[in-house]
Amino acid sequence: MPQSLDNLLVVGISSRALFDLEAEEAIFRGQGLEEYRRHQLINENQILKPGAGFALVRALLKLNRLTPGQRFVEVVIMSRNSSETSMRIFNSIKHYDLDITRAVLSGGAPLAPYLQAFNVSLFLSLHEDDVQAAVNAGAAAALLYQKPDNVMEELDQIRIAFDGDAVIFSDESERIYQTEGIEAFEKHERENAMLPLPQGPFAHLLIALSYIQNNFKNPDGRAAPIRTALVTARSSPAHERVIRTLRAWNVTIDETFFMGGVTKSDVLAAFKPHMFFDDQHGHCDRAASRVQTGRVPIRQLDEPA
């Protein structure tokens, strides 16, 4: 009987995001495909070091081990490698005891067309073109920054932090701020405080995490080991619409920080997320030296002919 991924949180991650393949990427770009192929075949039994998305993937997969007989998360390797050059990836997956059994090995072809086929909830990559194509196709996707130097210690909880506008929520209000300024933005938010914000690209991911929290049946009675945070540049009076929107979605955020323009880096370092998602280059650049960070590109729609 075919297995369904419809009711699972499915994370699609590139091999370069899961493992440290920067040296191999340099070989591919500097010496070409054939030298890259030779290098991977010669070194296929050399275990790769963890990459930028490794900690988040490992933490999410632990959920399945805590609930025997029930799965919440699936991870799919999505790589432009061919099957011939992928053995090193699978050997590394086995070495780290990661419960990953599904893969897309496209042999150089684009990955975005396969996201819907695997019901991918979140796509993570270090290749900007693949991330942008995924976002344009309507998927929640993020371009990962390299791991910060200060690797975080192992945490019992899965911790994920989100920016608000253009990430959890749509960029409707953000566009007003960018084009008309802070006073117009605050006026718009006051006038629409009772109207829920439209969903942004990561709304479904947040809702899925909230669903897992509410339906997690841990044998020892403990709650799901997931903790979420909203770290937004908003402040009063623009806070009210955010709070009412989350109520309307029936979603509870564990920790909320209305930063009011203060840099987010120190709060993020204290929260210690496995991943922080933001759409702004500046916020991501500052956060990336402290915590693992993923930038969410703006969706680019084709212009009408």
266 is catalytic: no
**155 is written with which tokens?**
């945490």
Query: How is the chain classified by DSSP, letter by letter?
Result: -----TTSEEEEE-HHHHB--HHHHHHHHHH-HHHHHHHHHHTTTSPPPB-TTHHHHHHHHHHHHHSTT---EEEEEEESS-STT-HHHHHHHHHTT----EEEE-TTS-SGGGTGGGT-SEEEES-HHHHHHHHHTT--EEEEPPPPSSPPPP-SSEEEEE-TBTTTB-SHHHHHHHHH-HHHHHHHHHHTTTSPPPB-TTHHHHHHHHHHHHH---TT-PPPSEEEEEEES--TTTHHHHHHHHHHHT---SEEEE-TTS-SHHHHHHH--SEEEES-HHHHHHHHTTS-EEE-PPP-PPPP-
> Rounded to an integer, what distance in angstroms lies between the CA atom of residue 75 and that of residue 9?
8
The active-site residue out of 20, 130, 163, 279 is: 163
Residues labelled as active-site residues = 163
